[in-house]
Amino acid sequence: PYPLCALPPTTWLKIVCTVRSSMLHISRVMPFHQISLDNTEADERLNKDLSDYIACRIKATTETHLSNKMKKNMATKLTQYLVTKACGSFLYVKQILDFIEKGFLVVKSGSFKVLPASLSEVYQLAFNLKFSSSESFNQVSTIFSISLASLQPINLHELFNIFSAL
């Protein structure tokens, strides 16, 4: 392998390198400028980006029931709450705002106890909304099992053939 330190200094070459949290010691020995995408304490721009995203989503839905139900003061409180809970996760914020927009979650009087506290709870809520009983889940559990066990994505024809063979 060619060592990084042997590369000539340039202003046109940019390298994007990602490192797992458990392997951060590797990145410290490299002469790279580091940007954290999930450490909101180290970089306040992450919180600003989340706040801007939430404000944009609320503004974009001015004709829908989301903004009608939400006063400006409540929108500010919701923004602060979501930024704190998200810890830099846009997926968490997007899912919560989608649930509020679709009417699955109703925020009343500035109390956010009904909102899922983590991304895991968001997916649990989505799963419970999709499958309200164990019988409704049992109908599709075989398809889920096949899809999850597959090493490659399965198209509908292949899924039909596998399901028919059972």
pLDDT of residue 123: 92
pLDDT of residue 74: 82
What SS3 class is residue 58?
A: helix
pLDDT of residue 120: 93
Written as one string, the DSSP assignment of 4-51 is GGGSPP-SS--------GGGHHHHHTS------SS-TTT-THHHHHHH
**Number of CB atoms found within 10 A of residue 144's CB:** 10
Give the CA distances from residue 89 to residues 35, 83, 96, 137, in Å, rounded to whole numbers and listed in that order: 15, 9, 11, 28
pLDDT of residue 68: 52
Taken in order 48, 51, 57, 63, the sign of the CA dihedral is negative
pLDDT of residue 52: 94
- Structure token digits, residue 143: 């398809």
CB contact at 8 A, 36 and 43: yes
pLDDT of residue 64: 54
pLDDT of residue 20: 79
Q: Collect all residues with Cβ–Cβ distance below 8 Å to 24 and sequence separation of at least 6.
A: none
pTM as predicted: 0.68
pLDDT of residue 24: 77
CB contact at 8 A, 92 and 119: yes
Spell out the per-residue pLDDT of the chain, length 166, in tens.
566 667 677 777 777 777 777 887 877 777 777 777 777 777 788 889 999 999 999 887 755 544 455 577 788 888 999 999 998 889 999 999 999 888 888 887 767 888 999 999 999 999 999 998 888 888 888 888 888 888 888 888 988 888 788 7
